[in-house]
């Protein structure tokens, strides 16, 4: 029946026409709205023409649909705009864009905004932002011009707009001076845009923290499904002048998947596996790296668990024991265990061998603050759970989430060999610290 009459639905065509999102030439980020946890817009900034805040209604719709605050999709289409949002510190940063802009570009920029606020105000909260609203506005204006990022390096921003401090506020009030820099930031156009010139310290010091986080999924039987290490080297460098540093490792082969701060000379790394750089002033992340599951990742703790429900009974058993595994002789500290128990669980009556536990009957979240693991006397949490009367046996298996810290150890085995400074004459204090933490460390039951 090839000749079946096929009417073209012109109404459909018309509807489709409207569906195509017509975007103007306006590029990059158009506006920014900050929304708090209760869904109120408490700040808006427009870099082009003003976009009505009713555009956020589409965001609120998505927010309502989301079961959890973090489940709001990052990119939301509306008839005339796209909304790209990130959730940080319980604040949604909602960027409005009107044209084809790389979404990662926007997300990275929003992260930079959050970092800057945190850097300036110590915390990134609604109260802190409201307390410093004019500085916030000045910062946003300085960070973006016509939607193009302008100055996002904290070093440069701080020269343009001085961070508020109690002392400065007092001084400004007395002398009538301002907290806006009058001079063009020195680093802005030099070959090292991340560093300002004329840095002076009486105590010259350079500290590096090697911090590794283990992400792992352990299955019921205790075998590792995936394990990977996300490592960073955070630096706090307070050195006078223009120091040129090199950092070398005992075992650079571990680092095959790295992301560098722009200050690192990539060619030198490629050729000699040495980090060579002129550091920014103050705190910065020198490098982040990823040790993938291909390599063997040591798992520092194990969990023995028995969480069971019997058919027809309103009681369930809960037993959990923690122990150290591959810790290279170091102590496992600040251990915190949490688990989302099944919805049917009414309450839990447990007995910890050490530490304290809480169970929230509303959210069903069990958390146990264990503290330090003593290898001689393993911490355990045992007891019973009561189920809703008449409820059937829960069919989901709770996952156990573990947090811990191990001082003085980089679990990947990464070790710094030496740190040298060139270009300046003084002798700086140098320090390297290692730490291993649990990232997303999950044990299935």
In the complex, minimum distance from the CB of residue 324 to another protein, in angstroms, rounded to a whole number: 23
Q: What mask, x for binding another protein by CB under 8 A, covers residues 57 to 76?
A: ----------xx-xx-xxx-
Residue 174 is a binding residue for another protein (CB under 8 A): no
When the beta carbons of 77 and 361 are compared against another protein, the nearer one is 77
Question: Per rule CB under 8 A, is residue 123 in the interface with another protein?
Answer: no
Task: Scan residues 335-374 and list those touching another protein (CB under 8 A).
Answer: 343
Q: Binding another protein by CB under 8 A: which of 43, 139, 233, 345? A: 43
Residue 266 binds to another protein (criterion: CB under 8 A):
yes
Using rule CB under 8 A, residue 45 touches another protein: yes
What phi, psi does 158 have (nearest 5°)?
Answer: -65, -25
Q: Is 167 in the site for another protein (CB under 8 A)?
A: no
Q: Which of 77, 113, 115, 122 is nearest to 96 (CA)?
A: 77
Q: Closest CB to another protein among 61 and 256?
A: 256
Tally the C-alpha atoms within 13 A of residue 64's C-alpha that lie toward its C-beta: 6
User: In the complex, what is the shortest distance from the CB of residue 296 to another protein, in angstroms, rounded to a whole number?
Assistant: 13
Question: According to CB under 8 A, which one of 55, 91, 96, 101 is a site residue for another protein?
Answer: 101
Decide if residue 198 touches another protein (CB under 8 A).
no
Residue 17 touches another protein, criterion: CB under 8 A: yes
CA distances from 282 to 205, 207, 276, 424 (A): 10, 10, 17, 17
Q: Is 44 in the site for another protein (CB under 8 A)?
A: yes
Does residue 134 touch another protein according to CB under 8 A?
A: yes
**Minimum CB–partner distance for residue 184 and another protein (Å):** 5
Quick one: 215 exposed, middle or buried, by C-beta within 10 A (0-12, 13-18, 19+)?
middle
Asked if 279 is part of the footprint of another protein (rule: CB under 8 A), the reply reads: no
Of the listed pieces 148-156, 238-246, 329-337, 353-361, which binds another protein according to CB under 8 A? 148-156
- Is 311 a binder of another protein (CB under 8 A)? no
- The Cα angle at residue 337 between residues 335 and 340, in degrees rounded to 5: 165
Does 89 bind another protein (CB under 8 A)? Our answer is no
Q: How far is the CB of 234 from another protein (least distance, A)?
A: 12
Cα–Cα distance, 181 to 178 (Å, whole number): 8
Taking a C-beta distance cutoff of 8 angstroms, is the pair 386, 315 a contact?
yes
**Closest approach of Cβ 10 to another protein, in Å?**
6
Residue with Cβ nearer another protein (181 or 241): 181
| Contact between 132 and another protein per CB under 8 A | yes
Q: Does 175 contact another protein by CB under 8 A?
A: no
What residues between 202 and 261 interact with another protein by CB under 8 A? 215, 217, 219, 225-226, 228, 230, 256-261
Distance CA 259, CA 218 (A): 27
Q: Minimum CB separation from another protein for residue 434, in Å?
A: 20
380 counts as binding another protein under rule CB under 8 A = no
- List CB contacts of 389: < 8 A, sequence separation 6 or more: 314
Return all residues near 425 (Cβ < 8 A) that are at least 6 apart.
none
Does the footprint of another protein cover residue 272 (CB under 8 A)?
no
Decide if residue 424 touches another protein (CB under 8 A).
no
When the beta carbons of 203 and 223 are compared against another protein, the nearer one is 223
Kindly state the smallest distance separating residue 358's Cβ from another protein, in Å: 19
**Interface with another protein: number of residues (CB under 8 A):** 120
By DSSP bridging, strand 429-444 and strand 205-218 are parallel
Contact between 171 and another protein (CB under 8 A)?
A: no
Six-digit token string for 353: 């061998």
Residue number with CB closer to another protein (218 or 301): 218
CA separation for the pair 365, 219 (Å, rounded) = 21
Contact 24, 97 (CB under 8 A): no
Nearest distance, CB of residue 230 and another protein, angstroms = 5
Q: Is 437 in the site for another protein (CB under 8 A)?
A: no
In the complex with another protein, the residue whose CB is nearer, 41 or 416, is 41
d(CA 51, CA 49): 6
Closer CB to another protein, residue 41 or residue 336? 41
């Amino acid at each position: 029946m090839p000749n079946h009459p096929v009417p073209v639905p012109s109404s459909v065509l018309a509807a489709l026409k409207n569906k195509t999102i017509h975007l103007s030439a306006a590029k990059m980020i158009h506006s920014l709205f900050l929304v708090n946890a209760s869904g109120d817009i408490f700040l808006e900034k427009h870099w082009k023409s003003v976009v009505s805040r009713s555009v956020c209604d589409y965001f609120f719709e998505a927010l309502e649909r989301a079961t959890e605050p973090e489940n709001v999709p990052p990119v939301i289409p509306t008839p005339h705009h796209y909304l790209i949002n990130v959730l940080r510190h319980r604040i949604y940063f909602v960027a409005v864009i009107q044209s084809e802009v790389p979404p990662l570009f926007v997300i990275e920029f929003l992260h930079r905004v959050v970092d800057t606020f945190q850097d300036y105000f110590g915390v990134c909260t609604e109260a802190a932002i409201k307390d410093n609203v004019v500085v916030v506005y000045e910062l946003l204006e300085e960070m973006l011009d016509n939607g193009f990022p302008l100055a996002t390096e904290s070093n440069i921003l701080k020269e343009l707009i001085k961070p508020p401090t109690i002392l400065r506020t007092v001084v400004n009030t007395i002398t009538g001076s301002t907290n806006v820099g009058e001079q063009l930031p020195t680093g802005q156009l030099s070959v090292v845009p991340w560093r300002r010139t004329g840095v002076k310290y009486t105590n010259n010091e350079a500290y590096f923290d090697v911090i590794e986080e283990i992400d792992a999924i352990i299955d019921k039987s205790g075998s590792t499904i995936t394990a990977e290490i996300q490592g960073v080297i955070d630096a706090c460098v307070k050195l006078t002048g223009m120091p040129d540093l090199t950092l070398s490792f005992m075992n650079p082969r571990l680092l095959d998947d790295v992301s560098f701060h722009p200050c690192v000379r990539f060619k030198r790394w490629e050729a000699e596996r040495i980090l060579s750089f002129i550091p920014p002033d103050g705190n910065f992340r020198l490098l982040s790296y990823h040790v993938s599951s291909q390599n063997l990742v040591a798992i520092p703790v194990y969990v023995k668990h028995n969480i069971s429900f019997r058919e027809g009974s309103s009681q369930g058993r809960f037993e959990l024991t923690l122990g150290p595994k591959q810790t290279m002789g170091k102590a496992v500290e600040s251990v915190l265990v949490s688990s989302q128990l099944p919805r049917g669980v009414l309450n839990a009556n447990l007995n910890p061998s050490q530490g304290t536990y809480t169970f929230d009957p509303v959210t069903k979240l069990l958390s146990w603050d264990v503290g330090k693991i003593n290898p001689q006397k393993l911490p355990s949490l045992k007891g019973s759970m009561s189920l809703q009367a008449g409820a059937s046996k829960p069919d989901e298996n709770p996952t156990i989430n573990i947090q811990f810290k191990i001082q003085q150890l980089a679990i990947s085995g990464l070790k710094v060999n030496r740190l040298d400074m060139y270009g300046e004459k003084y002798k700086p204090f140098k320090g390297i610290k290692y730490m291993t933490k649990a990232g997303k460390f999950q044990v299935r039951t």
